[in-house]
Chain A
């Protein structure tokens, strides 16, 4: 199986492609999580609510909701891998680098379990100090 490699580039006059399954799945996970619902042409259910975290400061409850939705969205959007688990690492958010780390574990068709890491930019994290 050959897939177009992202970021989209040309190599030797041809579109860069990859046959590495892990790379392909990583790209797909990133595509699903970074696409907001209703954003895809004529496929409004494609995408994830995780992408909308960029607009608001997430709290614990919001992250739990986002995880439940994202697991279903990843299952719908990726057919050739089994999504096993997903979690957020809110400790990665700092005032100088407000980035939310998202980890996803999945199993490839041949049974190998892999872990993917996606970074989502967020405005910050709700703490006792940010609650007004």
Chain B
């Protein structure tokens, strides 16, 4: 009884695929014996082997992207992290704490949010700003936390949000600092600051909350609740 020829799955390179094809050809077409490179059949064998080699390369690449230890693309790793519920921290601005002293003994001094500070290092100027209002009382000093970068305000994500669950938007700046992202929603003409949560599951029911996450493409995504959470 004839036995089925087993297929060698380890034949994945041009030369081994070519050899397998010629071995197979010897069995199914024994009358074809010409192995000159000028033979039209040999040209076909070469082209098929080349195509097989290239396809195996892409199969390997796709397979490697499925494992953390072998993935090479940021997009693969972020998607893999999202699958396990891990939220990558994303890009973060440098943080500085400055102490501001008020020499006046009579009045307080206010520092509004968004006030620009600068620092020079190695002849290069870096700009910082505060994201919260600060007040320094009379004759005291207060610590103010500053974030490096450029403040982006009033970026409009949507002007016609329907209120549907699970809405998400990509921020226009892909290098935005996720930790300092704030979202305001205008409802019936009233502008309200929504709260940031680390995941949609943590948003209480009917709370006005949103989640900032890193999309697989590297962009920063803002996601709203699903009506069960948020």
Contact = CB atoms under 8 A, between A and B. Distances in A.
Given A40-B37, A77-B36, A78-B38, 18 more contacts: A2-B29, A3-B32, A3-B34, A3-B39, A3-B40, A4-B44, A6-B40, A27-B40, A28-B38, A28-B39, A29-B38, A32-B38, A41-B46, A42-B50, A43-B37, A78-B36, A79-B35, A79-B36
A24 B31 CA distance: 14
Interface residues of A, number: 21
Contact of B46 (A4, A28, A42): A42
A106 interface: no
Interface in A1-38: 1-4, 6, 8, 24, 27-29, 31-32
Contact of A80 (B36, B40, B46, B47): B36
Contacts of A43: 37, 46
B33 interface: yes
A115 to B, nearest CB: 18
A46 interface: yes
B11 to A, nearest CB: 16
A69 to B, nearest CB: 16
Contacts, number: 51
B34 A1 contact: yes
B38 A31 contact: yes
A29 B40 CA distance: 12
Interface in B35-76: 35-41, 43-44, 46-47, 50
A3 B50 contact: no
Interface of A: 1-4, 6, 8, 24, 27-29, 31-32, 40-43, 46, 77-80
Contacts of B46: 40-43
Interface in B5-36: 14, 29, 31-36
B20 to A, nearest CB: 16
A35 to B, nearest CB: 9
5 closest A-B pairs by CB: A28-B38, A4-B40, A77-B38, A2-B31, A41-B50
A29 B38 CA distance: 8
Nearest to A30: B38
B222 to A, nearest CB: 50
Contacts of B29: 2
A78 B50 CA distance: 22
Contact of B14 (A1, A27, A42, A79): A42
A80 B36 CA distance: 8
A107 to B, nearest CB: 16
A24 B34 contact: yes
Given A1-B31, A3-B32, A41-B46, A46 B40 contact: no
